[in-house]
Structure 1
Amino acid sequence: MEPRAAQVQRRERLGRQQEDRPSREGEPHSGGAECPGGVGGNAEVHRGPDLVQWTQHMQAVKTQLLEQAQGQLMELLDQAMWEAVQAYPLQDRPVPSVPPDSLRKTREPSLGKRKVFIIRKSLLELMMEFDLLTFSFGQLPLALVTWVPMFLSTLLVPYQALRLWERPQSGGAWTLRVGLGCLLLAAHTVVLGILPVHVAVEYQLPPASRCVLVFEQVRLLMKSYSFLRETGPGTLWARGGEGIRAPSFSSYLYFLFCPTLIYRETYPRTPNVRWNYVAKNFAQALGCVLYACFILGRLCVPVFANMSQEPFSTRALVLSIMHATLPGIFMLLLIFFAFLHCWLNAFAEMLRFGDRMFYRDWWNSTSFSNYYRTWNVVVHDWLYSYVYQDGLWLLGGRARGAAMLGVFLVSAVVHEYIFCFVLGFFYPVMLLLFLVFGGPLNFTMHDRRTGPAWNVLMWTLLFLGQGIQVSLYCQEWYARRHCPLPQTTFWGLVTPRSWSCHT
């Protein structure tokens, strides 16, 4: 059969021949019985050029639509890039403003296109900035200098107080010794309690430097209490000349550095020190710190830096919490690995401390009660020994629920104090999460809850809780910088600024 295009061309040629021939009287000019195909053939003759023109028209329409869609897409991408550049906080010289239209025009292909030079940074430099790290650890030498009297007070005062009680005598001498020891402990508590707070507030230490002070403050207080709790009762209740011998100073000094909060005269020790293992753990801890700064700088700062300058809406708050879940859980895992694994194992190896059970498999927990026991074994042992068991002893062995509630209360207050100290403002998010959600979840999601579904539920609640913390604390941090108080008052300090700061 003849191809369709050939048929169309042949019919067009025949039509032109018919038009060129002179018409005779009585003879039809075109079409009629003598024309092959009659009327239908004439229709085909005229359809040929119409079909070609219609195809060309559709091609032109398609090309125009694609150009319009591409232009609109480029405008949207240029606008998004422009907004991202404007929201990005530049620490160095500002980038000269370039309107979005000019950005789109520079992307359009043209024969006369020329490279335009502007002041801008390299891509990897934007991704690997250390400004947040240097800011967070600012004035670190001052924090380390403040740590020296805190450590000396912990080293000398509790041990000297115990030596005063070592050989109690009858009459006024014993009372004098006990009173003098208590006075020393009161001075020690003042040094640990007031000195770091005064330095942090007076010199406006940044967050990471405050972390050094507050963690050491809490650690030294817990170690002092454990030492006196384990050795003091026997010494105070000694009679006559049968005083209990105080522990050696070297054992107390070792206890101040070893990774445990429970005092014992001796601990199991490993035979030697693997210094390459120590170096590897310190390097991993440093890597976690760098990665945490990267997460904050890339995933949190661009989102929350200007959030307080926009009108408040419930939708924006929920979206910010959902956005903060991923960086929040990353921060939780980094803190866990950097401190509970790398840092404690490094010190345990240097001191040949044998018991390395600093945490258990909390990630497999199907209940929050098991999660609280296995997340941080070091702190859990201290709370269990000196809050839960001593609480049961004071209550006569009854009211286990009340003793457990006391553990939650102490833990919630200390965690909220750490956040308040580090961030420099009071915003009881951690306190409410511990008491309002953590306590009920501990009693409802107990050890009888087993199965993978409960583990999934626990992780889901962890994601949500971390998102709430990161979102609300970041909003409050930037709100207090965008809306400073004209006059410092008590209610101004304890009232969240993010509730009213919308400039």
Structure 2
Amino acid sequence: MSSLLCESHSDTMKECYPYQFKHLKRILYVCFLFGQGLKSDLMRQFESQVHDFMDSLIEESASLESTPLPAAFSPPQSDKERSKLGYCISSSTLNLYKCLFEVNHIRTIYHMFIALLILFILSTFVVDFLDEGRLVLDFDLLVYAFGQFPLVVCTWLCMFLSVLLVPYTLFHLWSQSQSGSHGQQRLYTWLFGSAFLLYQGLCLGFLPTYVVVTNSLPPASCFIVIIEQVRLMMKAHSFVRENVPRVLAWQKDKTSNGPVVPQVSQYLYFLFAPTLIYRDKYPRNPVTRWGYVASKLLQVLGCLFYTYYIFVRLCIPQFRSISLQLFNLRAMVLCVFNSILPGVLVLLLGFFAFLHCWLNAFAEMLRFADRMFYKDWWNSTSYANYYRTWNVVVHDWLYYYVYKDFLLISQKRFRPAAMFFVFTVSAVVHEYILAVSFGFFYPVLFCLFMCFGMMFNFIFHDRRKGPIWNILMWTSLFLGQGVIMCLYSQEWYARRYCPLKESSFLDLLKPRSWSCQRDLMAGPDKIKWDY
């Protein structure tokens, strides 16, 4: 009756059902409180899960480079391979390159090069047997290239002893003179600085070159002397450059009784260590693996014989015949493309023999732990990255003592000029090494370095990504090696086909391959071939 009355009078629910509405209000209020609590709990739980997800995502992205591929994308591995891979991943980046040849794919490429060497040896033996009726094992090219080796050893000993004694003695005397008056300090700084520069330019710079030129050392012997000359000059500069600021800092603060001078043993270790940046201490390994040293030195010897067979089978027959032809565009183009294969093989062998085997062998003998002699330059998509990763040892020296010191002197105002100066220094030194080793001046490498190298450094910059840029980099690198191998080989044989009876200084600078004519050259049967 009451419900009908309420409906008829259209009263509110509160007036018609006061008791029920009171309970409903309490229920709704409880539900509201429960909903608010549930909402806050859900929000806290959601926020916690989001934070956990972001933390795991950051950790996963940080370890992405060192994480092996999942099983779906990689072939099944044995326990031994997984243990090696785990060691390389868990170790530092420096050890990753030590484990490079533990990877099956890289080891297969290494085996392919060994198979190619075996084919070169077999082809040489077969051709010699067919031509001579016997096996020829005289290796006359190696005997010629490394001729007068006792003179090379004596020259190196003189250079090494002078670098060991002169820079250290000059620096020690200069550091002891910095405790006097300001005028005496400036006088001794000028005196010892001039003596050091004179030693670098005359004793270490001129005399070894004079010995090489006057004794007409063959190419490989010249190369050893000049490379060691440049290396010792860079090490002497690094030693002085790193220790002079320490003495100047002591001169201002006078925190101890005398300046800190490195010990002779530290300097001697630096002269043999495979680095060009001086430090008082280096990271050291606990033991020396002499089996590892022997394997690396044997690989260097194998690369030497590999290079011998490349020149015997691919280079010498081709360039002897090409040098008999007139200089024209067609012959030049064919020569460049025919020289790409031997040029690239010599480049890769030089990289493997020196930067991987030779430096690792000395690092192992000295227990030198920092093995970052190169990085993955073969994956570079820019020439800027290629220059930084091809030879890390030389790059670090150029960066710290040429680029950064140039910016320090110019107060960081001429960065493009600093980069240009680095390219110039590197190009001049490379061309100097080749000019003295070959016995003639033909600035092919200098022009390629300063023109195309500088241009490609800005075209193939670090923002270039993707496989197409890596392909273009390798293509240009192959072509450059073909140009270098072709032009230097042509000039080498042109100077033997067309010797000058009376040559002036300009004739020595002028490329002989441009003017060597067939009717003016001596007959090939009259030439005494010394390669």
What whole-Å deviation, never above 9, does each CA across 1:195-242 have from its counterpart, x for those lacking one?
111111111000000011001000000001101100013324643866
What's the counterpart of residue 481 of structure 2? 466
Report the more deviating stretch, 370-379 or 242-251: 242-251
Matches of 2:134 and 2:377, distance apart in 1: 39
Residues 381, 470 of structure 2: 8 Å contact kept:
yes
Partner secondary structure for residue 165 of structure 1:
helix
Is the counterpart of residue 154 in structure 1 residue 163 in structure 2? yes
The Cα of 1:499 is off from its aligned counterpart by 0.1
Higher helix residue share:
2
Deviation at 1:122, TM superposition (A): 4.0
Separation in structure 2 between the aligned mates of residue 245 and residue 234 of structure 1, nearest angstrom: 7
Distance 1:409 1:184 in 2: 26
Deviation of residue 308 (structure 1)? 2.6
Give the Cα–Cα distance (whole angstroms) in 1 for the partners of residues 154 and 238 of structure 2.
25
Match of 2:270 among 247, 251, 255: 255
Amino acid at match of 2:265: S
Amino acid at match of 1:307: I
Supply the distance in 2 between the matched residues of 1:360 and 1:152 (Cα, whole angstroms).
33
Q: Are 1:133 and 2:148 counterparts?
A: no
Q: Name the Cα RMSD after superposition.
A: 1.9
The correspondence for 2:232, drawn from 174, 196, 220, is: 220
Give the partner amino acid of 2:245: P
Task: Note the 1:342-361 alignment, pairs <5 A.
Answer: 342-361=357-376
Cα deviation, residue 166, structure 1: 1.7
Q: 1:502 to 1:160 in 2, by over 3 A?
A: same
Matched, 1:166 2:181: no
Instruction: Specify which of 282, 304, 308 is matched with residue 319 of structure 2.
Output: 304
**1:312 CA displacement:** 2.3
1:487 aligns with 2:502: yes
Distance in 2 between the 1:443 and 1:191 partners? 39
Alignment of 1:22-101 (within 5 A): none
**Distance of 1:154 and 1:427 partners within structure 2:** 31
d(CA) in 2 for partners of 1:403 and 1:180? 29
2:327·2:513 contact (CA, 8 Å) conserved in 1?
A: no
Report the Cα distance in structure 1 between the residues aligned to 2:182 and 2:420, rounded to whole angstroms.
41
Q: Which moved more, 1:232-241 or 1:320-329?
A: 232-241
1:174 deviation in Å?
Answer: 3.6
User: What is the aligned length?
Assistant: 385
Judge which range, 185-194 or 485-494, deviates more.
185-194
Q: Distance in 2 between matches of 1:175 and 1:383?
A: 28
Aligned to 1:198, which of 210, 217, 236?
210
1:436 lines up with 2:451 in the alignment: yes
- CA distance in 1 between counterparts of 2:208 and 2:175 reads 31
Q: What is the match of residue 478 of structure 1?
A: 493
Letter in 1 for 2:205: G
Q: Are residue 362 (structure 1) and residue 374 (structure 2) matched?
A: no
Distance 1:124 1:374, change over 3 A: farther
**Matches of 1:268 and 1:173, distance apart in 2:** 39
Q: Return the match for 2:261 from 227, 243, 246.
A: 246
**Does the Cα contact within 8 Å between 1:367 and 1:442 map onto a contact in 2?**
yes
- Whether the aligned pair in 1 keeps the contact of 2:423 and 2:450 (CA below 8 Å) is yes
Alpha-carbon separation, structure 1, partners of 2:275 and 2:130: 53
Distance 1:266 1:469 in 2: 40
Which residue of the partner structure matches residue 63 of structure 1? none
- Runs of 5+ unmatched residues, structure 2: 1-127, 519-531
- Matched letter for residue 422 of structure 1: S
Displacement of 1:278 in angstroms is: 0.3
- Report SS of the residue matched to 2:169: helix
Task: Tell me the residue number matched to 1:8.
Answer: none
Q: Mark the structure with the bigger radius of gyration.
A: 1
Between the aligned partners of 1:309 and 1:213, the Cα distance in structure 2 is: 32
Post-superposition shift, 1:175? 4.8
Deviation at 1:173, TM superposition (A): 4.7
Matching of residue 420 in structure 1 with residue 431 in structure 2? no
Is residue 121 of structure 1 aligned with residue 136 of structure 2?
A: no
Distance (Å, rounded) in 1 between the aligned partners of 2:182 and 2:401: 31
Give how far 1:488 is off: 2.4
- 2:304 aligned with 1:289: yes
Deviates further, 277-286 or 226-235 = 226-235
Residue 309 of structure 1: SS of its match in structure 2?
coil
More displaced, 383-392 or 253-262? 383-392
Amino acid of the structure 2 residue aligned with 1:231: N
The 3-state SS of whatever aligns with 1:264 is coil
**What is aligned with 1:66?**
none
2:192 alignment partner in structure 1: 181
Q: Aligned AA for 2:171?
A: L
Give unmatched runs, 5+ long, in structure 1.
1-94, 96-117
Q: Structure 2 residue aligned with 1:142, among 151, 162, 172?
A: 151
Letter in 1 for 2:143: T
TM-score by length of 2: 0.70
- Alpha-carbon contact 2:314-2:342 (below 8 Å) kept: yes
Amino acid at match of 2:221: S
Cα distance 1:160–1:146, how it changes in 2: closer, same or farther (>3 A)? same
CA distance in 2 between counterparts of 1:320 and 1:119 reads: 27
